[in-house]
C-alpha cells in the first residue's frame, strides 16, 4: 500500500515533510527564500507548514518521490514543536514524509481513540506523543506558500496572517 491509497487520496495531492530542524529546511528549499527564512526563525519549531520552491540539489533518496512530494516544484515543510518527535525524525535521517491520521474527506483526529481502526491496521506504526507535554491546541498548522519575498496563506491555522506580516515585513 502507498500512503495515498491508505488515506484514499488522489495521486496528485502532495504530502508534507516533517523536519528535525529549521537548518534542514535550508538544504531543501531553493535559494532566495527570504520571507520563508524570516517565518522559520519566528515560528519554528511550531504550527507552520511552509510551501516553498524546492532546491535543484535535493538529496538523491528523495528523487524517486519527486512526483509525490513536489509535483509543482514546491515542498511542504514543517518542524514540529514536540521534542520527542523531532528526535525521532532526527533518528530517521532528519526528514519524514507525513500526513494526518485521517482518510480523505474526514476531519483529522485529536486523539488516538478517534483514528479509524482500518487506518491503524494499514500502517506500520503510530507515533504517540510524550504525555508529559502539554496537549496540542487542536488548531491545525497554518499552511503558507512562500516565493522569494512574498507569501500567501493557503490554509488559515494557528498562526495568523497578521503575525506573519509582522515578522516577514512583506505583503501578500
Walking along the chain (172 residues) 10 residues at a time, the average pLDDT comes out as: 71 81 91 93 95 83 65 86 90 86 76 80 72 61 92 93 86 48
Q: Return the pLDDT at 40.
A: 95
CA distance 39 to 147: 12
Spatial CB neighbours of 148, under 8 Å, sequence gap ≥ 6: 32, 33, 34, 35
How far, in whole angstroms, is CA 98 from its chain's centroid? 7
pLDDT at 169: 73
pLDDT value at position 138? 67
- Model pLDDT, residue 64: 60
Residue 154 has what DSSP assignment?
E
Phi, psi of 18 (to 5 degrees): -90, 135
- 161, burial (CB in 10 Å: exposed 0-12, middle 13-18, buried 19+): middle
Count CB-CB contacts under 10 A for residue 132. Answer: 6
78-117 residues labelled b (16+ CB within 10 A) or e (exposed): bbbbbeebbeebeeeebbbebbebbeeeeeeeeeeeebee
Mention every residue, 6+ apart, whose C-beta is less than 8 A from residue 98.
15, 16, 17, 18, 78
Report pLDDT for 105. Answer: 78
Amino acid at each position: 500500500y502507498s500512503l495515498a491509497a491508505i488515506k484514499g487520496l488522489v495521486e496528485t495531492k502532495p504530502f508534507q515533510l516533517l523536519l528535525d530542524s529549521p537548518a534542514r529546511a535550508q538544504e531543501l528549499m531553493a535559494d532566495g527564500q527570504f520571507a520563508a527564512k524570516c517565518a522559520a526563525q519566528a515560528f519554528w519549531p511550531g504550527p507552520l507548514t511552509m510551501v516553498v520552491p524546492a532546491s535543484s540539489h535535493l538529496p538523491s533518496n528523495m528523487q524517486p518521490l519527486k512526483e509525490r512530494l513536489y509535483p509543482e516544484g514546491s515542498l511542504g515543510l514543517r518542524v514540529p514543536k514536540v521534542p520527542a518527535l523531532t528526535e525521532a525524525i532526527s533518528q530517521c535521517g532528519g526528514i519524514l514524509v507525513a500526513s494526518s491520521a485521517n482518510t480523505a474527506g474526514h476531519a483529522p483526529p485529536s486523539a488516538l481513540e478517534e483514528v479509524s481502526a482500518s487506518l491503524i491496521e494499514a500502517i506500520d506504526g503510530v507515533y504517540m506523543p510524550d504525555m508529559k507535554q502539554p496537549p496540542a491546541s487542536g488548531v491545525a498548522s497554518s499552511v503558507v506558500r512562500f516565493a522569494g519575498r512574498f507569501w500567501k496563506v493557503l490554509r488559515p491555522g494557528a498562526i495568523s496572517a497578521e503575525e506573519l506580516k509582522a515578522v516577514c515585513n512583506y505583503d501578500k
